Structure 1
Amino acid sequence: MAEKEGGIVNKGHEEGLKLAISLLEEFGLPLGLLPLANVVEVGYVKSTGYMWIVQEKNVEHEFKMISKLVSYDSEIYGYVEKTKIKKLKGVKAKELMLWPPVSEISLDDPPTGKIHFKSLAGITKTFPVEAFAAGQ
């Protein structure tokens, strides 16, 4: 894929997780935003902000503070920038009986303690950032 050209690639769970966490930190995103399991590789292209994550299988995670179940596909990708992930693919949040794809995640800048999840249908849900802290 052309998007991956010139990218840093970390293979394996521990190294992949290190890169994913360092990217979340660098761009001011909550460290628990991507609860990953059995990571195959994580990659990042600095010039474009394109980031991808490959894990062995889909992962479902419940963010208990907000009672929200989120599904992460085996391949997740998007463009990361300060306080934001755009054109996100591979993440769905359960709404009633539906799993609408999440297309963008953003935090307010300057920070307000809120994080916003926008679906392809244009619906935005807002939650407290601390719900996505590591270990939640």
Structure 2
Amino acid sequence: MAYQIESHRSGAEVVTGDAICKKKSIDLLEELGLPKGLGPSAYGGHSGVWKIKQTVSYAAEVTAFVEKGKLQKITGVKTKELMLWLSVVEVYVPEASPQKVTFKTGTGLSDSFDATAFALGE
């Protein structure tokens, strides 16, 4: 996976710094049609608790391949399930059910939640 990310990095937009990363992540999520509260900017740091009571952790670098309504091959995002930290590898909003957000983990588990749970307090 690291090689795949490195091979695409030259064509990717890479940003650093807290303020610009927060703004860019919100802008990107909005452009993709995903809830703006999915990114680390919602918590002002690298960890937090989504409104669905899931603990989430973000690495210093988060990567993903993006398309409308979907983040794929995500690296750097984990969620705590019982006592285990699981990598989140895909997040998408199904066209047929845009009020839901579905998360897939590296273990093949997936779950869907109400998209309003990931809205920023605007």
Same fold (TM over 0.5): yes
What is the TM-score normalised by the length of structure 1?
Answer: 0.75
The structure with the largest strand share of the pair is: 1
Provide the TM-score with structure 2 as the length reference.
Answer: 0.83
Contact 2:22-2:40 at 8 Å conserved across structures: no
Structure 1 counterpart of 2:3: none
Matched, 1:34 2:20: no
- Which residue of structure 2 aligns with residue 15 of structure 1? 20
CA distance in 2, matches of 1:7, 1:67: 32
The alignment's C-alpha RMSD in Å is 1.9
What residue is the counterpart of 1:94 in the other structure?
80
Trace 1:31-110 onto structure 2 (pairs within 5 A).
Answer: 31-36=36-41, 37=44, 59-64=46-51, 66-110=52-96
SS of aligned partner of 2:104: strand
Paired residue total = 115
Would the alpha carbon gap of residues 10 and 72 (structure 1) be closer, same or farther in structure 2, given more than 3 Å must change?
Answer: closer
Identity %: 40
Can you give the 5+ residue segments of structure 1 that lack an aligned partner in the other structure? 39-58
* CA separation of 1:84 and 1:68: change in aligned 2, threshold 3 A: same
Q: Which structure carries more helix by proportion?
A: 2
Select the residue among 111, 116, 121 that pairs with 1:125: 111
Aligned to 1:56: none
SS of residue paired to 1:116: strand
Q: What is the CA distance between 1:68 and its match in structure 2? A: 1.1
